[in-house]
């Protein structure tokens, strides 16, 4: 099959409530996203059009905008206020955001998935050691979030909304005809390892947050790598992940066919913390590293995915449907802190895309 499970039996599922921890302690202080006045919205629309269209077309458009202000506009403005009242956890824009990403049928690479290239680590170069350290740090971050023990994020002295964080890791944008389905599983304790399109899943922590050791994590990666080498010697190719890089409706059809025999394997990939791609070769420049980060070969574009090259270069590609850049930066800050303090590694992150 396209997925081989090498993890231990999962523990009994535990329900986590991150809102009871310090992560959400300032959530009530976060201001609501305001709804602009209808006239202000229309004025800004006209101003945005001024450098884009001819003068006669602009004047014609102003007439349509005035008709909108006197006609349908006020009732639609009331609808925005109703949506805002209904969505206490998010805002009036939440539904539009989800529709924009989940109903977009274009491929995720290039069109919707931002990517980051991390600065080279100062001392850790071995790709298996780097990969294991990334896996372990990602797991520890996930446990801090799901238990609410991650410190609250702030911009200066102003608290940031924590709503996206519990839906970031262990989530997936599952392809479906017309509109994808976004799922998240905070109780997940496993990751997906992708080696040349071969997908493996193994457990990396307990419900209590006990993280797999660096040594055992490297050992698990090596076990997977040996299996890939055996498949190659047998002439077996695994190309399933390539469909996740295409248009969403085609991927939905392919996945539906796969689900007849592989539903449980696909589900365990969906709920894994993230996908970790162990790639062949090295990036010779930042431009080349950026191209790999944007569209890693045989990547799995339904989820957050890390890319590790053979020289230890790290990049990642983010699933954008439910999260913004500041959520990803929270994870990157945690990874950098843990690698520096725990592994003696120096580095940073550079956003691209």
Q: What is the set of active-site residues?
A: 320
- To the nearest 5 percent, what fractions of the chain are helix, strand and coil? 45, 15, 40
Beta bridge partners of 123: none
Q: Are 157 and 150 in contact (CB under 8 A)?
A: no
How close are the terminal C-alpha atoms of the chain, in Å?
34
DSSP 82-151: HHHHH-SSS-TTHHHHHHHHHS--S-HHHHT--EEEEPPPSS---HHHHHHHHHHHHHHHHHHHHTT-SP
Q: Are 202 and 220 in contact (CB under 8 A)?
A: yes
Six-digit token string for 78: 């009331």
- How far from 348 is each of 65, 117, 120, 162, 334, CA to CA, in Å? 47, 9, 8, 23, 11
- How far from 243 is each of 111, 139, 197, 260, CA to CA, in Å? 16, 27, 11, 17
Three-state DSSP state, 224: helix
Report d(CA 266, CA 201) in Å as an integer.
Answer: 11
């Amino acid at each position: 099959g396209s997925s081989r499970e090498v993890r231990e039996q999962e523990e009994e599922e535990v329900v986590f409530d991150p809102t009871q921890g310090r992560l959400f302690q300032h959530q009530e202080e976060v201001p609501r996203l305001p709804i602009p006045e209808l006239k202000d919205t229309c004025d800004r629309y006209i101003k945005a059009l001024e450098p884009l269209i001819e003068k006669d077309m602009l004047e014609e458009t102003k007439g349509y905008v005035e008709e909108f202000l006197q006609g349908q506009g006020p009732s639609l403005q009331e609808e925005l206020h109703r949506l805002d009242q209904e969505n206490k956890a998010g805002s009036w824009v939440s539904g539009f955001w989800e529709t924009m990403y989940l109903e977009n049928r274009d491929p995720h690479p290039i069109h919707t998935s931002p990517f980051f290239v991390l600065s080279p680590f100062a001392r850790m170069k071995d790709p298996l050691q780097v990969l294991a350290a990334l896996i372990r740090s990602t797991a520890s971050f996930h446990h801090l979030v799901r238990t609410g023990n991650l410190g609250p994020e702030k911009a200066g002295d102003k608290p940031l909304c924590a709503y996206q964080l519990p839906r970031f890791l262990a989530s997936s944008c599952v392809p479906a005809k017309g509109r994808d389905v976004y799922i998240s599983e905070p109780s997940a304790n496993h990751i997906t390892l992708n080696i040349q399109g071969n997908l493996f899943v193994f457990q990396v922590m307990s419900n209590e947050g006990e993280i797999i050791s660096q040594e055992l994590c490297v050992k698990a990666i090596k076990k997977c790598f040996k299996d890939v080498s055996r498949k190659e010697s047998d002439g077996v190719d695994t190309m399933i992940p390539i469909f996740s890089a295409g248009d969403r409706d085609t991927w939905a059809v392919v996945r539906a066919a796969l689900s007849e025999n592989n539903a449980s394997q696909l589900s365990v990939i969906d709920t894994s913390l993230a996908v970790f791609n162990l790639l062949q070769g090295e990036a010779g420049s930042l431009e080349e590293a950026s191209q790999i980060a944007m569209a890693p070969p045989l990547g799995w574009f339904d989820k957050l995915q890390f890319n590790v090259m053979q020289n230890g270069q790290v990049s990642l590609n983010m699933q954008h449907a439910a999260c913004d850049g500041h959520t990803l930066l929270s994870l990157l800050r945690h990874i950098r802190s843990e690698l520096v303090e725990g592994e003696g590694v120096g580095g940073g992150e550079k956003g691209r895309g």
